[in-house]
Amino acid sequence: MKIVSLFLLTGIGNFIKQVNCYVMKAPDYYQPIMPYLCIKDASQFIDFIKTVFDAEIKLIVPREDGSTMHAEATIDKGTIMFTQANEMYSPYGSALFIFSPRAMAFYDKAMANGATSVQEPDERDYGLSAGFTDAWHNTWWLAVPDEE
């Protein structure tokens, strides 16, 4: 991390004060856009994504009470971030799309681990796809890339 100076302004060019802050170097697994989930029971969610997607947990930042304040995981070449809901942040469901040669294996593992199917595997105009909802109200859409 490095420290940079920001200059707070009001109006056009009216200098208020200089503020020093930290700027982090982004890890190599970051992408320009990454989903951020707010879920109940992050430890169970971590077990689920490791089992279903072979996710690699890159970072877990705990709160003082032991719950997860921030976590990062990679699935194939993609990254998701998440936090455990608390009094300040309510849980919410999200929709995620995974484009992977392993998509149907993900679907099968999800079904074996308590997910609910929203679209059984089916060959469509755009290829083989499926979808499921997990216990945290996230809907995962899966598609297999064309091998050509």
- 29-76 pLDDT tens trace: 988 899 999 999 999 999 999 999 999 999 999 999 999 999 999 999
Domain-embedded: residue 88: yes
What's the total number of domains in the chain? 1
The CATH number of residue 15's host domain is: 3.10.180.10
Q: How confident is the model at residue 8 (pLDDT cuts 50, 70, 90)?
A: very low
**pLDDT at residue 100 above 50?**
yes
- Check: CB of residue 113 under 8 Å from CB of residue 133: no
In the Cβ-directed half-sphere of 47, how many Cα atoms lie within 13 Å?
6
pLDDT at 146: 83
What is the reported pLDDT for 18? Answer: 53
Residue ranges making up the domain that contains 96: 2-143
What mean pLDDT value characterizes the chain? 88
Residue 58 lies in a domain: yes
Task: Specify whether the CB–CB gap between 80 and 72 falls below 8 A.
Answer: yes
pLDDT at 1: 43
> pTM for the full model?
0.82
148 part of a folded domain: no
Q: What is the pLDDT of residue 125?
A: 87
Residues 141-147: contacts with CB under 8 Å, at least 24 apart = 141/95, 141/96, 141/97, 141/98, 142/97, 142/98, 142/100, 142/103, 142/104, 142/106, 142/107, 143/97, 143/98, 143/99, 143/103, 144/99, 144/100, 144/101, 144/103, 144/104, 145/99, 145/100, 145/101
Q: What is the mean pLDDT of residues 8-12?
A: 48
Q: What pLDDT does residue 3 have?
A: 44
Rounded Cα distance, 115 and 137, in Å: 10
